């Protein structure tokens, strides 16, 4: 994006809830041509209303063929894409006492593979925008949990860490083509997903504030858009500690932290 309000061709997934909805409302209000994707067509229709700059693309991001078909429809309607925001995702917490690999698969399906299918569908359209003289941007919503291993976050945190690593690596390979990649690492944001959490969420921000911060970062093509910064910088710092220190810190956050831990060496 060359300027915050320059008209762009945008594809946004996970558009009907939380951060995605707040982003969609702002982008449509700014006059961008926005393709909106989510699973429920009726929720997309309610979000778009009568705005003629909205293109509804209902899909399940875990269905690779559906995502690729959405890419073909986008090509037919928009030609190219100036900005892609892969925001769809989910969260479930793992109970190690009742380990469930199916839960891990459910979380990885949209958070990792859904994003990868989106990249596969979007890259030809981002390249089209680059050929037209633009500086296209691929962005995805990861999580501040990617910075530091946390209790019960084996599935969610690992999926977001995998997404962050993949896109940081892809960023290196796309730089020579003139396609930028931004990663979004939110802390706690008030959304229907976080409303289900049963633990304290320090420094939680509204979805509207999150959207404002994200759009400012995207306009500047920032590599890492993380917020609220006091919280995310702390997680980055803690993530840089030795394994032993990270373990002792993490043990204090677990619900059975009074149980005697086994010896751990740094």
**Rounded mean pLDDT, 201-216:** 93
- Average pLDDT over the chain, rounded to an integer: 92
- Predicted confidence at residue 253, as pLDDT, reads 78
- Predicted confidence at residue 226, as pLDDT, reads 97
- Confidence at 249, pLDDT banded by 50, 70, 90: confident
Domains observed in the chain: 9-253 (3.40.50.720)
pTM > 0.75: yes or no: yes
Res 3 pLDDT > 80:
no
Does residue 93 have an active-site annotation?
no
Q: What percent of the chain has pLDDT over 90?
A: 83
Query: Using CA atoms, how far apart are residues 237 and 226, in angstroms rounded to an integer?
Result: 14
Res 254 pLDDT > 90:
no
Residue 107 burial (10 A CB sphere; 0-12, 13-18, 19+): buried
Shortest CA distance to 182 belongs to which of 127, 117, 240, 135? Answer: 135
Q: Could you read off the pLDDT of 44-95 as tens digits, one per residue?
A: 999 999 999 999 999 999 999 999 999 999 999 999 999 999 999 999 999 9
Q: Could you read off the pLDDT of 84-142 as tens digits, one per residue?
A: 999 999 999 999 999 999 999 999 999 999 999 999 999 999 999 999 999 999 999 99
- Predicted confidence at residue 250, as pLDDT, reads 86
Which one of the listed residues 93, 117, 147, 156 is annotated catalytic? Answer: 156
Res 264 pLDDT > 70:
no
Q: What percent of the chain has pLDDT over 70?
A: 94
Res 2 pLDDT > 70:
no
CA angle at residue 24 from 21 to 26, to 5 degrees?
110
């Amino acid at each position: 994006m060359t300027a915050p309000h320059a008209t762009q061709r945008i594809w946004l997934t996970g558009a009907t809830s939380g951060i995605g909805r707040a982003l969609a409302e702002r982008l449509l209000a700014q006059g961008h041509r926005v393709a909106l994707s989510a699973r429920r067509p009726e929720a997309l229709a309610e979000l778009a209303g009568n705005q003629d700059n909205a293109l509804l693309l209902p899909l399940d991001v875990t269905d690779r063929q559906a995502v690729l078909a959405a890419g073909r429809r986008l090509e037919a309607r928009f030609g190219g894409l100036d900005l892609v925001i892969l925001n769809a995702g989910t969260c479930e917490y793992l109970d190690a006492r009742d380990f469930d690999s199916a839960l891990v698969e459910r979380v990885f399906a949209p958070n990792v593979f859904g994003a990868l299918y989106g990249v596969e569908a979007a890259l030809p359209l981002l390249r089209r925008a680059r050929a037209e003289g633009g500086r296209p941007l691929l962005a995805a919503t990861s999580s501040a949990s990617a910075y530091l291993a946390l209790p019960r976050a084996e599935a969610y945190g690992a999926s977001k860490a995998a997404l962050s690593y993949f896109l940081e690596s892809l960023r290196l390979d796309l730089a020579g083509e003139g396609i930028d990649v931004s990663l979004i690492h939110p802390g706690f944001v008030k959304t229907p997903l976080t409303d289900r959490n049963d633990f304290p969420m320090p420094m939680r921000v509204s979805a509207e504030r999150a959207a404002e911060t994200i759009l400012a970062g995207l306009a500047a093509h920032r590599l890492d858009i993380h917020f609220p910064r006091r919280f995310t910088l702390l997680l980055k710092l803690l993530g840089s500690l030795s394994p032993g220190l990270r373990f002792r810190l993490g043990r204090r956050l677990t619900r059975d932290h009074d149980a005697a831990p086994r010896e751990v060496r740094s």
